[in-house]
């Protein structure tokens, strides 16, 4: 089978199910496992320029939406040469990936027309269900069930242990630096499972802009910084966008040394198998006395003034 994935999270899932060798096309953002970086890239985006700041990226996104132009380009000729049997995509977020309408238009012109599967998980359970969908499409149902069982076991271990915690610290997960966005979708569930008190959108709801005044009013005891698409070094370059805000040093999380910069690009932003590792990272950040060493190496860094 010849597979094209238009989402990094799906690329990770395909690889986790043992079908990486059948993956013929990926996006410019697919980077895990590292071996997929050698696959043919079928997308591009002006937002991927590394020198752009958070504010500049936000401005470009707004301009594209106002002009009703796509943030991503799907390379139709390259896709045609790959002759895929199945193409995985999404229709949840036009900022995160190629729009569904663009994918549908390009796919309809291919000969033969491949099977198009769209996945839009907004919760942890939906991500697990999508693994089953992917496994079924790739004739790997047994592998999918084994993977789901292992992930569920890890989720349950964190859930049961975190339930014994004596405190549930107020937790704020920041998805963008300028303007400030609070995380949504699966993040409320991850925070609650890890033993924290969530502040932001309801479960399954999208991330949204939030004023700094509201962040100060909530006064998080733990501040987790996980900008969409940013690795830790990139986020550290722009930390002054937070530290120079009024009242920053008075936040409980800052005073207690519980501000953490995480690799949002690898973990929290992608609704794939590594959402479970994201849960384990949160568990260690919220309750280090209970979960020390659980988070993957180099998945987060403490921010100390």
pLDDT of residue 67: 53
User: What single-letter DSSP state applies at residue 295?
Assistant: S
* Averaged confidence pLDDT in the chain: 93
Contact 281, 239 (CB under 8 A): no
Contact 97, 6 (CB under 8 A): yes
Distance of alpha carbon 265 from alpha carbon 63, whole angstroms: 23
The 3-state DSSP class for residue 91 equals coil
The 3-state DSSP class for residue 4 equals strand
Distance of alpha carbon 28 from alpha carbon 256, whole angstroms: 39
* pLDDT tens profile 114-168: 999 999 999 999 999 999 999 999 999 999 999 999 999 999 999 999 999 999 9
pLDDT of residue 64: 55
Query: What is the pTM assigned to this prediction?
Result: 0.93
Bridge partners of 43? 74
Q: What angle do CA 206, 124, 202 make, to 5 degrees?
A: 35
Distance of alpha carbon 8 from alpha carbon 13, whole angstroms: 9
Q: Does position 98 have pLDDT exceeding 90, yes or no?
A: no
pLDDT of residue 244: 96
**Mean pLDDT to the nearest integer, 216-231:** 96
User: What single-letter DSSP state applies at residue 303?
Assistant: -
Q: How many CB atoms lie within 10 A of CB 73?
A: 14
**What is the torsional sign of CA 37, 41, 43, 49?**
positive
Q: What is the DSSP string of 145-211?
A: HHHHHHHHHHHHHHHHHHTT-S---EEEEEEETTTTEE--TTHHHHHHHTT-EE-SSPTTPPPEE--
Give phi and psi for 207, each to the nearest 5: -65, 155
pLDDT of residue 167: 97
Contacts of 40 (CB under 8 A, 6+ apart): 24, 25, 26, 78, 82
Distance of alpha carbon 227 from alpha carbon 261, whole angstroms: 9
Q: At what angle do helices 275-286 and 124-137 cross, to 10 degrees?
A: 160
Q: Does position 304 have pLDDT exceeding 70, yes or no?
A: yes
| Range from 66-75, 169-178, 228-237, 266-275 carrying the lowest mean pLDDT | 66-75
pLDDT of residue 54: 76
The beta strand positions in the chain, using DSSP E, are 3-5, 23-26, 40-41, 43-44, 73-74, 86-89, 115-118, 170-176, 181-182, 197-198, 208-209, 222-225, 259-262, 300-302
CATH no., domain 168-302? 3.40.50.1980
Q: What is the largest CA-CA distance in the chain?
A: 61
Report domain extents, the chain. Answer: 3-120, 168-302
Give yes or no on whether 3-120 and 168-302 have one common fold. Answer: yes
Architecture of domain 3-120: 3-Layer(aba) Sandwich (3.40)
Distance of alpha carbon 95 from alpha carbon 116, whole angstroms: 20
| Range from 3-12, 62-71, 146-155, 205-214 carrying the lowest mean pLDDT | 62-71
* pLDDT tens profile 18-76: 999 999 999 999 999 999 999 999 999 866 666 677 777 766 666 655 555 567 889 99
């Amino acid at each position: 089978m010849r597979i094209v994935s238009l989402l990094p999270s799906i690329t990770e899932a395909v690889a986790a199910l043992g079908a990486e060798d059948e993956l013929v096309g990926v996006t410019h953002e697919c980077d895990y496992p590292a071996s997929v970086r050698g696959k043919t890239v079928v997308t591009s985006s002006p937002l991927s320029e590394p020198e752009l700041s958070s504010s500049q990226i936000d401005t470009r996104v707004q301009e594209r939406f106002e002009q009703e132009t796509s943030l991503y380009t799907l390379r139709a000729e390259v896709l045609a040469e790959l002759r895929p049997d199945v193409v995985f995509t999404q229709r949840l977020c036009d900022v995160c990936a190629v729009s569904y309408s663009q994918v549908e238009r390009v796919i309809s012109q291919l000969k033969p027309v491949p099977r198009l599967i769209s996945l839009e998980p907004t919760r942890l359970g939906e991500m697990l269900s999508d693994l089953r969908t992917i496994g079924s499409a790739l004739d790997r149902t047994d592998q999918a069930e084994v993977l789901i069982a292992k992930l569920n076991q890890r989720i349950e271990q964190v859930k049961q242990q975190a339930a014994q915690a004596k405190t549930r610290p107020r937790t704020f997960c920041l998805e963008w630096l300028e303007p400030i966005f609070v995380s949504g979708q699966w993040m409320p569930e991850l925070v609650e499972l890890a033993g924290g008190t969530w502040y932001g959108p309801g479960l399954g709801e999208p991330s949204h802009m939030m004023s700094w005044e509201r962040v100060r009013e909530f006064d998080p005891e733990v501040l987790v910084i996980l900008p969409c698409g940013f690795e830790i070094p990139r986020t550290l370059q722009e930390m002054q966008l937070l530290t120079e805000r009024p009242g920053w040093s008075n936040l409980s999380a800052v005073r207690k040394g519980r501000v953490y910069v995480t690799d949002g690009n690898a973990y929290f932003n992608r609704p794939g198998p590594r959402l479970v590792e994201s849960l384990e990272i949160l568990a260690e950040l919220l309750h280090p006395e209970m979960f020390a060493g659980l988070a993957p190496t180099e998945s987060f860094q403490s921010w100390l003034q």
